[in-house]
Amino acid sequence: QVQLVESGGGSVQAGGSLRLSCAASGYTYRPDCLGWFRQAPGKEREGVATIHTPSNTTYYSDSVEGRFTISRDNAKNTLSLEMNSLKPDDTAMYYCVAHWGPYCPLRRDIYAYWGQGTQVTVSS
């Protein structure tokens, strides 16, 4: 049973930083794609960043490009999201996702495995 457990959310002022982590377990073969999605109140869930684990290629949404960095630690089976220069618009529940397949798009319908989420709140 694949399990994704997020941690590291919290409250921060605009301009601040947070680091999210996701502990992944329950699989025999490492997911080809790991990533982060988010959902703000009243809005649709959107892709934030993904990483193709065989090639270490990363993908970012336009709204976070240059501010967020996705990375993974194979030895610890963890995924991280370093978030800098945070804005109030970044306030959302952040979810860790996993997928086995050749592509890692920022499309929620691709990802079958989701964590429970961790809340990020950015105040102005």
Token pair 């409250």 is found at 11
Distance between CA atoms of residues 76 and 45, nearest Å: 27
Coil vs helix vs strand at 94:
strand
Cα atoms in the Cβ-side hemisphere of radius 13 Å centred on 112: 7
DSSP 8-state code for residue 108: G
Instruction: Indicate the length of the chain as a whole number.
Output: 124
Q: What is the pLDDT of residues 1-48, one digit of tens each?
A: 999 999 999 999 999 999 999 999 999 999 999 999 999 999 999 999
Query: Is residue 53 within 8 Å of residue 69, measured between CB atoms?
Result: no
Place of tokens 């996705």: 70
Tokens of 76: 């610890």
Pairwise CA distance, residues 87 & 1, whole Å = 35
Residue 64: what pLDDT? 98
What's the rounded mean pLDDT across residues 76-81? 93
* Residue whose token pair is 């089976």: 77
For 89-106, what is each residue's pLDDT tens digit?
999 999 999 999 999 999
